[in-house]
Structure 1
């Protein structure tokens, strides 16, 4: 390709097709396993278009997740002093050292024990929905509160502060935010979490941040590392799942046959299958997973040179026809468990058991308790988050 032919990334979705990957990305997937794309800063990393190659590179030790390395394809200008997102943008062994400190609360067994508490949160919010105004914005009244309440309880963050951390989270995940806006949001959240860690040092409780504070007291973590860890868990713990709840609900409302299948079944296996298929079909990671090559790598007939950036776009990987035949069709009975919505390899999402649990409880409860749930506006009037690194809807007016 000449420089004028290299497409911009991220690519726009087609009007009227908000659940599908960008047509230009799908076209590249059909044409080639690796293609150059242009980022905001003029750099031209490789877009890895196919499922098998993405998985291979995500486990390759010659590929780095360290955002500070030259050539890393950053999705936006970095704030001064770094990203503040801790181990998610580090390589082993430091990544493994820090991640291990917060793994225990997210094990499948520990998360499974949270199901009754999550069910109570979902039921209470549905009670409030039914008793409140109609129509209502499902994002503000339900999709955001569910994961925010859950992650606040797990971390030991006061839910009364949810307005503060949600507003600042929106800024730092908005792709077109100015560097100074992103820096201000980041500093506000880091300062807030540093104060919380300090409070936990003085008065520890039975929560994750108290465990992190204990690591600080033992000299295993610095206060800065602890605050960054808290920031990662707080933002990732509510932003992604909230968007998945709202976007998944809209997708089901647009596919009434699939919604009926889910609403009319009490089979936990079908609910679990529905969650995996919606994660595959929708994919809310807008920026792709970013990496940089540490050495020359031969893959798919191409040579990726040391220092060249890589973007693994999950949305097109999860529609790869070699892995998911008829992948543009939403099918809740499909075996979709091999999707890469949570990533792959050592950096795959730490909180995926919790996200799965929350989505299973929501998807098995909301539509059964409100069987007449429907959009309150025409599809074309629903504002999608084309401007964010996390995809979803800004609001979802619903009625019943």
Structure 2
């Protein structure tokens, strides 16, 4: 996955170190000289992360929500003004093609997604409009910043110009254009600023002047991994289905796939796994041996006794946990299995393993028919 946008103007600010050229975050700062300290600031105080390489789409039209509801996995037909949700675009086999966040505000749906996925998602949306009153277009004039930390509450009135912070998945307009949206991850205190791109440097300067600390994408990624939130293209592959990566659920469950909505592409697989089966793999958090000579890379095999049992996603250094990673692991691998990832010994964080023992409606019905 590589960036397809121009370098951010924030890279010109003192201390900014860009992501590696082959990184999906090469267009923005990876850190500002103290990556672990920046993570601590984002958890304990308040930090701003430049995520202006996100691809932004705007959509107007009276049927923007009802139409998008029919072609995507989330229940958004009655999404209220100023409300947001996470959503997926699936293929016919229920495999994840795109993950995006959407907000409906003042007659416009705003969508942001990964830089390299954005053009394809926009092309799909435009091809599927047909006769619907919905007009999806690229919105390169808007950019994303993220505010992280409990200190965001102190910024509301004077710095952000809003009366109060919104609830999770809610959004409020900002003076001068754009909006502030609250997210449930990567930390409890996570907010996105979607602002006019020509105001990006001004917002950065204003926030820094208010005492907000600069943090790079290293911080955002480390906190995301610790929260076991996948990033499409890094923690997913071309076989990934939503059940494998914790994307099941409506907005109230912080998910991207609502299980009680009408037909959409890929729904058959979602329903079959939910009602009759279990996912073949699941996303887990791995703790890596920091004393090893070298680190594994995304895409490396995770092995147990020399046998491949999974694949690595994001690998990152966390300010408290040390080296950690996300991995898609076969569902039947016990949490205490000794694993290896590249040159490192690895262990599964048992708290990251999702439960798969809930009663399945389809299985219960079959058992009832069979007299069990």
TM-score higher than 0.5? no
Q: TM-score, normalised by structure 1?
A: 0.30
Q: TM-score, normalised by structure 2?
A: 0.31
Larger strand percent: 2
